[in-house]
Amino acid sequence: MSNEDLYPTRREEDHKRFARLDPVVHARNQERWAGPLGEESLSRYERDGFLWFEGFFSQERMRPFFDELNDMAKDTELTKSDQVITDPDSGDIRSVFAMHEISKRFDELTRDPRILGMVRQLLGGDVYIHQSRINDKFGFQGSGFQWHSDFETWHSEDGMPRMRAVSASIMLTDNNEFNGPLMLIPGSHHYFVPCHGKTPENNWKDSLKSQRVGVPSQENLRDLVDQGGIQAPKGPPGSLLLFECNTLHASNKNLSPWPRSNLFFVYNSVDNGLEEPYGDTKVRPHFLANRDKVEALAMHDNLDPL
């Protein structure tokens, strides 16, 4: 695979957006329809950069995952590790990374046939887990996440060469307009938005608490929102959001009394393995960017009832 940087970013020069160079749905020709998604859903994903499935899993199915998260919060050894990120304001858990390596239950969920079938169809073949995490926002205090494209970060800091990844976000709690739901800019994935400024050394230690580098300019954000607006899918535990790796997204602080916990699995094509970071930075830890275990995921058939 060529090491040419097709998506330059984090530089001092002009940082105007430009049209993406990769397809949105990667399955070609007749393979496009070789999966659970019909043409209406595929076209909507291409247009908006995400698909929303309210109540994809039952709330009963999700409850053990939320209980396990609460148990993790009591594990002092785990909470002291680098893969647990604390909230910059409250000090509570903000994110736990490599969830599929910590928990058998979470690992099996990454290989759920219904999710994996859609992901393979969108990415045009076999996939592996690039990153998994839980993002947590406790009531009254959970901090927000700045506008960003995941791909911009993964390209610059991890060496992901092309836009051939998709995130599956599963709601572990109710996501409503008051507790900081994920906001997305429909259609923003059609453009790559370079970001200004060189990446500091070990940027991930600060950026995962409060992102400053890798944030699009207000001019670019305003233009893209004027074109596509902002949507914030809301629904009960078990709802699923699939969003393209380059779709701009953010979330506000949780000012409600209700927690907001979402699980994220990032699927990357096995043909899109990581190279050296394009942003002239050191390789980030394995729990943020999987370079070692890139074998194609096999579906897990022995799953609990939906």
Q: How far apart are CA 164 and CA 209, in angstroms?
A: 26
Q: Which whole number is the average pLDDT over 152-181?
A: 96
Q: What is the pLDDT of residue 207?
A: 56
Instruction: Express each pLDDT in 119-142 by its tens digit.
Output: 999 999 999 999 999 888 888 877
Superfamily of chain region 18-272: q2cbj1_9rhob like domain (2.60.120.620)
The yes-or-no verdict on residue 1 having pLDDT over 60 is no
4-27 tens-digit pLDDT:
899 999 988 767 899 999 999 999
Mean pLDDT taken over the chain:
90
Let me know the angle formed at the C-alpha of 86 by 143 and 96, rounded to the nearest 5 degrees: 105
Q: Cα separations (Å) of 213 from 81, 154, 199, 203, 301?
A: 24, 13, 7, 8, 41
> Whole-structure pTM over 0.85, yes or no?
yes
Radius of gyration for the chain, computed over Cα atoms and rounded to the nearest angstrom: 18
Residue given tokens 């209406």 in the structure block = 40
pLDDT tens digits for 22-49? 999 999 999 999 999 999 999 999 999 9
